[in-house]
């Protein structure tokens, strides 16, 4: 069965989205059962996962299905379609809106196509860490986002944390002043470019496929990256200094098709919400462990890790926040997040 599933994934990845969605029923029949054994025939619930079955992005749905089954046995038949067989993030989101896919995860950055207000959560040095993120998203900012999502046809059950971006460099970067005059490889994003300009750096767009050579040859002096990306791209070989700035966190949503949600009974909705409350911290723990394991492997290869005073970096960000705030709803939105204790 696994061979059939993998073959289907390989054959469908390059198909147009509508053809992929058309074969969703076939794909669903070849995915692993969420509880390890076929669930009783119930209401079909198809989940799209763009990663493999052993990644946290898939395991969260397995946990979710197990918890729903405990609460309301046999009422749902979970089909977790992995390896991007139903498309990438944007294609999956369209599928959820159309109702051909019932549930998925998405970065909030991806969802800004439909919910542009979500760009607020990409502001740098705004979050103090995972605990702060959880408190913010359980408060008014998260509630407001859920309402905006519903208006676009999505039911957000909760928020997840994928990880953070950190600074990697040849020479140690500890304080904001250390980037002044340095050339930085940046994402092709106005926010990222303006952020580092505000600290005196010289942002230089470089494709990620060329980042290794650019860092090695001195085309750029430093860049930012997740722990897992730092390891996977072997960047520690050319920039062995890793600074835990955690300046931008990648947040995500566990979301469903709103029409599908509306078609559930109140008992079923309660079971889904309870399952999400258990599955979300489970995912966050898995994702954090995966990131730290990646960093530990680079330390074995010679990486030197530096911790920083987040308050110092946050203070240095205030002029940028003031200048960029109109793009994300105003300074009061940013301050409301910073003030959450």
Residue 79's domain is classified under what CATH number? Answer: 3.40.190.170
Query: Could you tell me if 224 and 236 lie in one domain?
Result: yes
In degrees and rounded to multiples of 5, residue 237 shows phi and psi of -70, -30
Residue 288 lies in a domain: no
How many structural domains comprise the chain?
2
Residue 289 lies in a domain: no
Query: Could you tell me if 104 and 189 lie in one domain?
Result: no
CA angle 127-207-126, nearest 5°? 10
Query: Could you tell me if 196 and 231 lie in one domain?
Result: yes
pTM value surpassing 0.75: yes
Above 60 in pLDDT, residue 68?
A: yes
On the CB side of 172, CA atoms within 13 Å amount to 7
Query: Could you tell me if 233 and 89 lie in one domain?
Result: no
From the number of C-beta atoms within 10 Å of its C-beta (0-12, 13-18, 19+), residue 49 rates as buried
Residue 6 lies in a domain: yes
Tokens at 284, concatenated: 């966050």
Q: What is the mean pLDDT of residues 105-129?
A: 94
* Residues 6 or more apart whose Cβ sits within 8 Å of residue 258: 150, 153, 154, 155
Q: Would you state the pLDDT for residue 114?
A: 94
Distance CA 199, CA 191 (A): 13
Backbone torsion region of residue 83, taken as left when φ is above 0, otherwise alpha when ψ lies between -120 and 50, otherwise beta:
left
Residue 243 lies in a domain: yes
Query: Could you tell me if 229 and 324 lie in one domain?
Result: yes
Distance CA 280, CA 285 (A): 9
- Helix (H) / strand (E) containing 251: strand 241-257
**Helix, strand, coil percentages for the chain (3-state, nearest 5):** 50, 20, 30
Query: Could you tell me if 105 and 33 lie in one domain?
Result: yes
Above 80 in pLDDT, residue 18?
A: no
Query: Could you tell me if 27 and 114 lie in one domain?
Result: yes
Query: What average pLDDT is seen over the chain?
Result: 89
Nearest to 312, CA basis, from 186, 175, 185: 175
Distance CA 146, CA 87 (A): 24
Q: Would you state the pLDDT for residue 38?
A: 40
User: Which residues constitute the domain of residue 204?
Assistant: 166-247+294-338
State in Å, rounded, how far the first CA of the chain is from the last one.
49
Per residue in 296-325, pLDDT (tens digit) is 999 999 999 999 999 999 999 999 999 999
Q: Do strands 183-186 and 222-225 pair parallel, antiparallel, or not at all (unpaired)?
A: parallel
Query: Could you tell me if 173 and 314 lie in one domain?
Result: yes
Query: Could you tell me if 58 and 181 lie in one domain?
Result: no
Residue 285 lies in a domain: no
Confidence tier at 188 by pLDDT (50, 70, 90): confident
Residue 286 lies in a domain: no
- Helix (H) / strand (E) containing 212: helix 211-217
Above 50 in pLDDT, residue 22?
A: no
* Residues 6 or more apart whose Cβ sits within 8 Å of residue 204: 183, 184, 185, 186, 214, 219, 220
- Look up residue 121 and give its DSSP letter: G
More confident residue, 32 or 300: 300
Query: Could you tell me if 227 and 265 lie in one domain?
Result: no
Query: Could you tell me if 11 and 131 lie in one domain?
Result: yes
Per residue in 254-287, pLDDT (tens digit) is 999 999 999 999 999 999 999 999 999 999 999 9
Residue 309 lies in a domain: yes
In degrees and rounded to multiples of 5, residue 253 shows phi and psi of -120, 140
Confidence tier at 189 by pLDDT (50, 70, 90): confident
Q: Would you state the pLDDT for residue 23?
A: 38
Residue 311 lies in a domain: yes
Query: Could you tell me if 76 and 101 lie in one domain?
Result: yes
Residue with tokens 């990648």: 250
* Residues 6 or more apart whose Cβ sits within 8 Å of residue 277: 158
């Amino acid at each position: 069965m696994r061979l059939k599933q993998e073959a289907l994934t390989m054959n469908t990845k390059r198909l147009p989205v509508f053809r992929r969605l058309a074969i969703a029923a076939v794909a669903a029949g070849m995915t692993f059962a969420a509880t390890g054994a076929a669930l009783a025939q119930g209401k079909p619930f198809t989940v799209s996962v763009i990663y493999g079955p052993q990644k946290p992005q898939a395991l969260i749905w397995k946990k979710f299905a197990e918890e729903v089954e405990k609460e309301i046995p046999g009422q749902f038949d979970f089909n977790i379609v992995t390896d991007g067989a139903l498309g990438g993030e944007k294609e999956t989101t369209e599928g959820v809106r159309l109702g051909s896919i019932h549930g998925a995860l998405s970065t909030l950055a991806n969802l800004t196509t439909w919910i542009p207000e979500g760009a607020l959560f990409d502001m740098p040095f705004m979050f103090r860490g995972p605990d702060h993120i959880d408190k913010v998203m359980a408060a008014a900012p998260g509630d407001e986002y859920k309402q905006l999502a519903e208006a676009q046809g999505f039911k957000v059950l909760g928020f997840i944390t994928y990880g953070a971006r950190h600074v990697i460099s040849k020479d140690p970067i500890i304080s904001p002043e250390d980037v002044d005059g340095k050339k930085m490889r940046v994402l092709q994003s106005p926010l990222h470019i303006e952020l580092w300009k505000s600290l005196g750096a010289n942002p230089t767009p470089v494709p990620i496929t060329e980042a290794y050579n650019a860092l090695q040859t001195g085309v750029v002096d430093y860049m930012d990256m997740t722990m897992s990306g730092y390891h996977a791209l072997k960047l520690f070989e050319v920039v062995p200094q890793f600074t835990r700035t955690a300046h931008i966190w990648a947040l995500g949503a566990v979301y469903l098709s709103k029409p599908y949600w509306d078609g559930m009974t109140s008992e079923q909705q309660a079971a889904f919400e309870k399952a999400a409350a258990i599955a979300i911290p489970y995912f966050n723990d898995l994702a954090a462990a995966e990131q730290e394991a990646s960093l530990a492997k680079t330390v074995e290869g010679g990486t030197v890790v530096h911790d920083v005073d987040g308050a110092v970096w946050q203070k240095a960000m205030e002029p940028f926040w003031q200048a960029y705030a109109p793009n994300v709803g105003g300074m009061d939105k940013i301050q409301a997040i910073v003030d959450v204790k």
